[in-house]
Amino acid sequence: MTEKIAVLGAGSWGSMLANILTENGHEVRIWSYNPDQVQELNEQHTNEKYLKGFRFSERLRADTDMKAVVQGADDVLLIVPSQVTRAVATDLNQVLTELNSKPALIHGSKGLEQHTFKRMSEVIEETIASQYRASISVISGPSQAEGVARKDPTLVTVASEDLQAARHFQQLFMNNYFRVYTNHDIIGVELGGALKNIIALAAGTLAGLGYGDNAKAALMTRGLAEISRLAVSYGANPLTFLGLSGVGDVIVTATSQDSRNWRAGYQLGQGKALETVINNMGMVIEGIATSQAAYEMAQLTGVEMPITEAIHAVLNGEETVAVAIQKLMTREGRAEIG
């Protein structure tokens, strides 16, 4: 069945997901606040700053007017950097109020709100009035936009407390290069997607310093152990961390040179200043804000997160990378499990 879908956010992931939905036969409109980007998408069918060299479906239409994009939509996908999700959802609430409509909502952002530590579905739930929303779903998993652009077989998961909603979005997104599973554990899926960015930053840093495969495997394994420990303390199902939005996303972002978090870490490892790294990237590096949130969550809950602490200290200029690694390596011996 063809649906009308509004996508809010036209960065690399928003525009790529919009293209998948368009190729799947849906009528998709994408919103961006940048008129030049809207013109480029509509006329050249490209989005060069965010997805170099990729040509989008000519059926995908872009607009700067959020109300025009959302009008008549059966579904709305929010896909902006986590720290602006609340602002965009607030505008969406206004639009839904004016249109008096109640589309199905899904987001694909991988981060936690600074200071509140809220997951994005919690931010959206708080922001959109209950009469204009049903359950909220999230799409997450190992899915670099650049890989999807190359039609690399990609597997993701859609999580929601409402499995019917998750199945609805599964059907909308599925095709022969993009396979979608469902998961009931929205806490685990959102926390997995957000927290793995810390491990990706750390993995890039090790690579930038010239460390090899042993260090990478060590970091990914112990990184997964600590992020799942934190997530379980917030109610996640530990098995989710053996799945696509746990180990799957750690693998792709901690090894792929397409990952912005990995690339940021790599430059930090090579000695570049954080500010330079952020300016050079021109796209969101979610792990920076998320490492601050996770550090504070660990302090609050007493969950041990040594890698997160190390990354937090490096990003805040409290420790050099060399000192942080030495501290991690010379911690008191421990049992691996338990």
Ligand X SMILES: O=C(CO)COP(=O)(O)O
User: Looking at 127, 143, 157, 170, which residue binds ligand X (CB under 6 A)?
Assistant: 143
Total of residues contacting ligand X (CB under 6 A): 13
Q: Which is nearer to ligand X, 63 or 249 (CB)?
A: 249
Residues contributing to the site for ligand NDP (CB under 6 A): 9-14, 32-34, 50, 79-82, 84, 87-88, 108-111, 143-145, 283-284, 286
- Compute the residue count for the chain: 338
- Residue 104: phi and psi, rounded to 5, are -75, 140
And the tokens for 24? 């799947």
Task: Flag whether 247 is marked binding.
Answer: no
Q: How far apart are CA 119 and CA 141, in angstroms?
A: 16
User: Looking at 154, 157, 259, 291, which residue binds ligand X (CB under 6 A)?
Assistant: 259
Q: Which is nearer to ligand NDP, 144 or 237 (CB)?
A: 144
Task: Flag whether 214 is marked binding.
Answer: no
Q: Could you say whether residue 252 binds ligand X (CB under 6 A)? A: yes
Least distance CB 255 / ligand X (angstroms): 11
Sign of CA dihedral 168, 162, 8, 120: negative
DSSP of 76-120: EEE-S-HHHHHHHHHHHHHHHHHHT---EEEE----B-TTT--BH
Q: How far apart are CA 17 and CA 284, in angstroms?
A: 17
Buried b (16+ CB within 10 A) or exposed e, 110-122: bbbbeeebbbbbb
Least distance CB 285 / ligand NDP (angstroms): 9
And the tokens for 321? 């990378």
User: Looking at 103, 108, 142, 265, which residue binds ligand X (CB under 6 A)?
Assistant: 142
Least distance CB 190 / ligand X (angstroms): 12
And the tokens for 270? 């090579």
Q: Which is nearer to ligand X, 103 or 287 (CB)?
A: 287
Residues 284-313 that bind ligand X (CB under 6 A): 286
- Residue 327 appears among annotated catalytic residues: no
Residue type, 281: M
Q: Which is nearer to ligand X, 69 or 288 (CB)?
A: 288
And the tokens for 245? 């939005």
Partner interacting with residue 112 (select from ligand NDP, ligand X, none; CB below 5-8 Å by kind):
none
Of 219, 241, 244, which is closest to residue 232 (Cα–Cα)? 241
Q: Which is nearer to ligand NDP, 244 or 284 (CB)?
A: 284
Residue showing the smallest CB distance to ligand NDP in the complex: 11
Partner interacting with residue 261 (select from ligand NDP, ligand X, none; CB below 5-8 Å by kind):
ligand X
User: Looking at 104, 200, 220, 247, which residue binds ligand X (CB under 6 A)?
Assistant: 200
- Residue 188: phi and psi, rounded to 5, are -65, -40
Task: Flag whether 38 is marked binding.
Answer: no
CA distance from start to end of the chain: 48
Q: H helices within the chain, ranges in order?
A: 12-23, 35-39, 66-70, 82-99, 120-127, 145-149, 163-173, 186-208, 213-233, 249-255, 260-269, 274-281, 286-301, 306-315, 321-329
Q: Could you say whether residue 110 binds ligand X (CB under 6 A)? A: yes
User: Looking at 157, 228, 253, 267, which residue binds ligand X (CB under 6 A)?
Assistant: 253
Which residue has 């050079």 as its token pair? Answer: 280
Q: How far apart are CA 305 and CA 313, in angstroms?
A: 12
Of 197, 191, 185, 202, which is closest to residue 301 (Cα–Cα)? 191
Q: Which is nearer to ligand X, 70 or 284 (CB)?
A: 284
**Catalytic: which of 67, 118, 196, 272?**
196
Give the annotated binding-site residues: 9-14, 50, 110, 141, 143, 145, 196, 249, 259-261, 284, 286
Residues that bind ligand X (CB under 6 A): 110, 142-144, 197, 200, 249, 252-253, 259-261, 286
Active site residues: 196
